[in-house]
Amino acid sequence: MLQSALKFTHTLLYQSVEEGDTVIDATVGNGNDTLLLAKIVGPEGTVIGFDIQRDAISATKNRLIEADLNQRVQLIEAGHELVDSFSIKESSIAAAVYNLGYLPKGDKSIVTSPDTTIESLSKVLPLLKPGGLILIMIYYGHEGGAEEKEAVLSFAQSLPQKSYDVLQYAFINQKNSPPFLLAIEKK
């Protein structure tokens, strides 16, 4: 009955993103979210994906080509904190997805970090359209993960209630730092 945090993220994306929308995958990694988003936005939509790892970007590019979805995805090998350098219009983004932590089966020393994550989130907020969502899957079991979790929670908790709804979706009886979702909806 209760969906995992990751599954619930996908449910929210299916409910809120429409064909033709523009969305951001802030942490492309192996491209799982990128592919899902590319399917949801359809042939007229656009996915803008960021990752700092060249291998992640090129592996995802290959997956997109194989699935014939590459035309609707712009992959950028750069940190998501540079999101304001790519002429994305204000109030144009239906959803932005973040998966924090390290790339599974990748180099575990390359992780998202509190400063750049917060910088990116601050820059994405004005890009969201009304009803737009930022969905952040927080993995925090690794070194430095707890600090990032606290920083992101504190950032999200401080957002004004008149402009944003902020939801934490978490299982509270699971062991070993279970990942959880923070969802920010622009009013």
Residues at the site binding ligand SAM, with contacts judged by CB under 6 A = 27, 29-33, 50-53, 56, 79-81, 99, 101, 103, 110, 112, 116
In the block, residue with structure tokens 């925090």: 140
Three-state DSSP state, 149: helix
- In this structure, what token pair is assigned to residue 71? 């035309």
Integer Cα distance of 28 and 32 in angstroms: 8
Which residues, listed in sequence order, are joined to residue 168 by a DSSP beta bridge?
182
Cβ closer to ligand SAM: 21 or 51? 51
Nearest approach in angstroms of CB 74 to ligand SAM is 14
Q: Which is nearer to ligand SAM, 173 or 184 (CB)?
A: 184
Task: Decide whether 85 or 163 has the Cβ nearer to ligand SAM.
Answer: 85
Select the residue whose beta carbon is closest to ligand SAM and give its number.
29
Structure-token pair, residue 58: 């090129």
- The tokens of 104 are what? 């599974």
CB of 161 to ligand SAM, least distance (A): 28
Of the pair 81, 185, the CB lying nearest ligand SAM is at 81
CB of 35 to ligand SAM, least distance (A): 8
CB of 53 to ligand SAM, least distance (A): 4
Q: Give the Cα separation of 187 and 182 in Å (integer).
A: 16
Q: Are 125 and 155 in contact (CB under 8 A)?
A: no
Nearer to ligand SAM, 43 or 141 (CB): 141
Question: In the beta sheet, which residues pair with residue 174?
Answer: none
Q: Cβ of residue 41: shortest distance to ligand SAM, in angstroms?
A: 16
**What number of other Cβ atoms are within 10 A of residue 50's Cβ?**
24
Q: How far is the C-alpha of 26 from the C-alpha of 164, rounded, in Å?
A: 20
Q: How far is the CB of 139 from ligand SAM (least distance, A)?
A: 6
Nearer to ligand SAM, 116 or 173 (CB): 116
